[in-house]
């Protein structure tokens, strides 16, 4: 397993974290409502507050991991090299695919 594949997996995991956090928040507040019988207005407000807080907390990590996919440096005689894993060229099809499939949607949706 290469360093680049680990970085790509982390970027994908960070891309999925907001979706997972929203689902967990909705399930949690739905379950709490059944236990306590709180009014729907209060439950929605608490659920919204929870989602906003969690997304606020993970935003810096998502931004760093997403922008990390474009950490490339020009090397003489070689071309653009991925700084995190110097064995990977930034012009390779695999690297471009990860940038396009994970990086660009994260930039548009989250960052």
pLDDT > 90? residue 35: no
Nearest to 51, CA basis, from 74, 25, 30: 25
Closest CA to 65 of 4, 17, 15, 31: 15
pLDDT at 25 (0 to 100): 93
Q: Is the dihedral of CA 16, 70, 94, 105 positive or negative?
A: positive
Q: Of 7, 2, 6, which is closest to residue 68 (Cα–Cα)?
A: 7
Q: How far apart are CA 62 and CA 56, in angstroms?
A: 10
Q: Please write the tens of the pLDDT for every residue from 75-96.
A: 999 999 999 999 999 999 999 9
* For residue 21, pLDDT beyond 80: yes
């Amino acid at each position: 397993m290469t360093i680049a594949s680990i970085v790509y997996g982390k970027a994908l995991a960070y891309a999925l974290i907001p979706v997972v956090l929203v689902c967990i928040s909705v399930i949690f507040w739905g379950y709490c409502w059944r236990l306590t019988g709180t009014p729907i207005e209060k439950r929605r407000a608490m659920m919204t507050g929870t989602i906003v807080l969690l997304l606020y907390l993970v935003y810096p990590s998502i931004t760093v991991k997403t922008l990390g996919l474009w950490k490339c440096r020009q090397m003489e005689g070689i071309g653009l090299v991925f700084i995190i894993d110097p064995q990977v060229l930034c012009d390779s099809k695999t690297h471009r695919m990860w940038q396009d499939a994970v990086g660009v949607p994260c930039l548009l949706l989250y960052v």
